[in-house]
Amino acid sequence: MQYTTLGRTGLKVSVAGLGCGGSSRLGLERVGKAHASGMVRAALDLGINLIDCARGYGTEEAVGEALVGIPRDSYVLTTKHLTIVDGHTLTPDEYVAGFNQSLRELRTDYVDVFFIHGLNLARWDHAINDILPALLREKEKGKFRFLAMSESPNQEPKHDATIRGLDEDLFDVIMLAFSLMNQNARELVFPKTVAQKVGTLLMFVVRDIFSHPEMLRDTIAKLAAEGKVPADLVGKDNPLDFLIHADGGAANILDAAYRYGRHEPGADVVLFGTGSVDHMKSNVASILAPALPEADRAKVRELFGHLVNVGLENWRNK
């Protein structure tokens, strides 16, 4: 494993972070709770020390069980909570109660990083004016060490709330969307996180678009029809097959996607979600692999650098 410092938090974190959400949720629904706990143990065995949870993922109990007996200072635990759940705007008391329930399920007294989950400008005033003061009282009690936000990429593909959070210097860590076909954080976010030493966790590096070949083909065809990508990418099994070759090229599209995210300047941790130990092992191998060849990176930037709001939705046929 490779480790890095998560910005001004000073936390030493693995560059690959285990996402306990996404559509896989550690395989909790597909396989079961013992399997989900086993996924966490398998991650620790691979040297992953950053485990990303959320109240809404339903996996905190499984994570808590997996971590029994493991020294608390040997891993970095994060969780998050939405400010609006199923259309209900949480009161500060409800929000804090949810956070405390997370701590109980995770079987810990504190998390290292707490994220306001899926923050966007529409939720901003309530989150910052109403929820945050109550949350900071929990921080004073030692229940979390660093405050963070995760963005809401589908609603704000140009990172509006993230940018506001950085401009107001509210957060020590940001979780943001970045991928082969969603690169605008390079101009909009990373210059600020780097300057302010704010830690970054990347999500949506693979998601559905790079794990469902039909979604990639469908997306490319739609973008080509709109004149946003060259028409010669259409009609291929893998429209990004130019990335797959010998001499340092990618082994497959997921390998390309993880390596692309990992080596973006400003990226600290690449999150991945999976319900499969085999997938986990190959994802970690990709995240630890060298950068894609410079010519490939340049081509990805030339072809897709201008795209906004691509690959952020779920695949419709799932």
Residues that bind ligand NAP (CB under 6 A): 19-24, 52, 80, 117-118, 150, 175, 203-207, 211, 254, 271-276, 279, 282-283
Q: How far is the CB of 274 from ligand NAP (least distance, A)?
A: 3
Is the CB of 175 or the CB of 220 nearer to ligand NAP?
Answer: 175
Residue 251, CA distances (Å) to 21, 161, 232 in order: 26, 36, 22
Q: How far is the CB of 225 from ligand NAP (least distance, A)?
A: 26
Residue 262, CA distances (Å) to 53, 81, 82, 258, 269 in order: 20, 26, 27, 6, 7
Q: How far is the CB of 221 from ligand NAP (least distance, A)?
A: 21
Residue 192, CA distances (Å) to 7, 124, 150, 162, 175 in order: 12, 20, 16, 10, 14
Is the CB of 24 or the CB of 49 nearer to ligand NAP?
Answer: 24
Q: How far is the CB of 150 from ligand NAP (least distance, A)?
A: 3
Is the CB of 303 or the CB of 312 nearer to ligand NAP?
Answer: 312
Q: How far is the CB of 57 from ligand NAP (least distance, A)?
A: 7
Q: How far is the CB of 55 from ligand NAP (least distance, A)?
A: 11
Is the CB of 114 or the CB of 190 nearer to ligand NAP?
Answer: 114
CB 145 within 8 A of CB 123: no
CB 253 within 8 A of CB 210: yes
CB atoms within 10 A of CB 158: 13
CB 283 within 8 A of CB 29: no
> H or E stretch including 283?
helix 277-288
Q: How far is the CB of 210 from ligand NAP (least distance, A)?
A: 7
Is the CB of 234 or the CB of 289 nearer to ligand NAP?
Answer: 289
Is the CB of 56 or the CB of 140 nearer to ligand NAP?
Answer: 56
Return d(Cα 195, Cα 96) in angstroms, integer.
Answer: 32
Is the CB of 206 or the CB of 223 nearer to ligand NAP?
Answer: 206
Token pair listed for 134: 């109550």
Is the CB of 49 or the CB of 282 nearer to ligand NAP?
Answer: 282
Q: How far is the CB of 40 from ligand NAP (least distance, A)?
A: 12
3-state secondary structure 48-77: CCEEECCHHHCCHHHHHHHHCCCCHHHCEE
End-to-end distance of the chain based on CA atoms, in angstroms? 33
